[in-house]
Amino acid sequence: MRKTDELDKFYAEIIASIKDQESNAQFPEFFYNILLAGDNKIYQKVITETKRFDGEWIQTLESYFPSLDRIIKNPKSALKYEEEITAIERAKKTTGASIRHLAANTHFIKEIRDDNVVIPKKILTVSAEQDYQIYENRFIMTLINRLSSFVQNRYEVIKSNYESFQRNHVNFKSNFDINDSVVDMDIDLVIKRNLDDDAINQHNLDLLQRAEYLHNLVGGFKNSPFMKLMEKARRVVPPIMKTNVILKNPDFRNAYTLWLFLDRYTILGFDNEVAEKNLPVQRKYLKNIYRLALLTYTTVVFNQRQRMEDYRRIELVTYRKKGTRVAKTHVDDVVKNPDAIRIEDNAINEYYLNQNKKVFKKRLEDIISENFSYDVALRRALNQTIDITNALYQAVFELEEEEDIFKMLIKEVNLDDKLDDAKKKARIARIIRETKEVDYNRSIRLEKKLMREIDSLNRKLIARDKQLAKDKIDERRLTLMQQERERARNNIKVMDEELKAVAVNKDELSKQRQAIQQQFKEKAKELKEKKKELLRKEKEKAANYRKREIAKLRERKKKALERAALRKKKMAEKQAAQIKAKEAMLEARAQKKYEAELAKIKKREQALIDKEKAKLEKDQKPQNES
């Protein structure tokens, strides 16, 4: 018999049994009337969810893997020269550097023969070795390590999410009054199973197999002789140095493009197809759900009543918990993971840096193309960039410049929460302002440096023109240069004044912050005193409660000791009686044993006497005959 047939048979028998009880007992009808008089809600839905993962990253990686394979099979190398001073007997090869070193260090000469032949004691030897730990190979090593985690993460995500499924969700809620009690019942059942249609999962299954193949390929790269050769090499960090090999070698250029792709592709996208429908609840089905509610209620209430004495013996555990504000949203059914799965961190990397450069350059060119001067265009482009940053601050930290009056009119404002929020926003605003001040001061210092450089160049030009022209000096040009120099000095003074103004504003903000902090400290001190008073009263209550509890415990302990002493006395009397009985029994046994031994001794003595008598009689008989 199949499992489904067994389930149908079991269900039919259960329903028949319940119907029989309904016709013989009065409580079911009473419960149904109470239940129907309450607030009831039933919900039944079927949801089919299908995920279709994006395979672009697999195609991209497959296209670049041949270049990586060629690179690790034929790695680049450079000659590494090592110099060592060694004994002449161990020197295998000498070079011009050896001769020059010996001429500069004559103490290594052993002797000079008459024919001017020099015999050294030690000599410099130069050995050349292949060095594979060059920048380009370190770049490939780092790329393979990144590829390993990149493919591994996506493989695991697809492996755990590639199957589509169907969910059947049934929920029955009821609230009713019965026997002076309020019952809040919530019966919730979710059945999740895989879809029977294998064609729906075939795309993700193919993608999983391709990802597994890529995972094995990258594993082969990681275990290759090249990676073992580069095991102790240091990894490269962005930005990547564009060496001649990386720019001109096609395979290394593909590897750099792959690096940029890994920077850009930080998510695993998928299409989520969801089909859902609300199922009707027929009258017969609804009646059976009411029966389920009846069984649930009667099971819980009956067992609680039957085990009331057992429950009362369990000691209550009393403790105090701080109130926690909890926000709960009950949604009947929502699609899980509706967004693309983010796997790698999307912090600023080489790809985003290059993209931001392109965006700023294009924005500047677009403004210039609208017949604006370069200065105006640069100001506008910078203002737009700064506006984006400021909008980002306001969006993330909710820094509104104006107070929302309508929100205050709608609901009452909690002053403590508003104070905490204002303190938090003030701290964030101070951090943003200090960061901008650092950047502003850096810009002023750079401008002052350039102004000094302009002033220095103007002086040099004036001196050169004076030297060249001598009596025929171009007064107009000298005047313009001097005016330019004067303007530069004025600009430097303006910059100094602005720096002083920034310092003054900073001091004023610091004073205001100190005053507010002082007010906060005074208020905190006042609250602390109130808290101390409340704590003292609570301690007094706790001490009194503790004294009462200790007195009760002592009384209980005294009674327990009395009962224990009484039990001990009874036990001692019982043991004394047992010992006495045992002594009597042992004494009887000893007496009996003594009497037995005495009887044995008498018997042996009588036997010896009889033996001696017989012997004497035997000895006397021959004498009588003689």
- 582 membership: H or E segment, kind and range: helix 475-625
pLDDT tens track for 174-233: 999 988 889 999 999 988 877 766 666 777 788 888 888 888 988 999 899 988 888 888
Asked if residues 276 and 333 have their Cβ atoms less than 8 Å apart, the reply is: yes
Strand partners, 187: 172
What is the reported pLDDT for 329?
A: 41
What is the reported pLDDT for 147?
A: 92
What is the reported pLDDT for 142?
A: 93
What is the reported pLDDT for 406?
A: 36
What is the reported pLDDT for 174?
A: 92
**E-assigned strand segments in 536-578:** none
What is the reported pLDDT for 582?
A: 85
Using CA atoms, how far apart are residues 150 and 263, in angstroms rounded to an integer? Answer: 10
Q: Where do the structural domains in the chain lie, given as residue ranges?
A: 78-131
Using CA atoms, how far apart are residues 196 and 235, in angstroms rounded to an integer? Answer: 48
What is the reported pLDDT for 328?
A: 41
Using CA atoms, how far apart are residues 42 and 93, in angstroms rounded to an integer? Answer: 95
pTM: 0.42
For the chain (626 residues), the mean pLDDT of every run of 10, in chain order, is 75 87 86 88 84 80 90 76 73 76 79 77 72 84 92 85 79 90 91 71 79 89 89 86 89 92 78 76 88 90 85 72 46 46 53 70 77 76 76 66 45 69 79 79 77 77 65 58 72 72 73 75 80 83 84 85 86 86 86 86 86 81 65
What is the reported pLDDT for 23?
A: 85
Q: How many CA atoms lie within 13 A of 549 on its CB side?
A: 6
Q: Which of 144, 401, 161 is nearest to 262 (CA)?
A: 144
What is the reported pLDDT for 188?
A: 92
pLDDT tens track for 484-511: 767 767 777 777 777 777 677 777 777 7
DSSP string, 200-235: HHHHHHHHHHHHHHHHHHHHHHHTSHHHHHTTTSPP
Using CA atoms, how far apart are residues 515 and 508, in angstroms rounded to an integer? Answer: 11
- Count the residues in the chain: 626
What is the reported pLDDT for 373?
A: 77
Both structure tokens of 164: 């589509």
209, 412, 418 from 415: Cα distances, Å: 59, 9, 5
User: What is the SS3 assignment for 301-347?
Assistant: HHHHHHCHHHHHHCCCCCCCCCCCCCCCCCCCCCCCCCCCEECCCCC
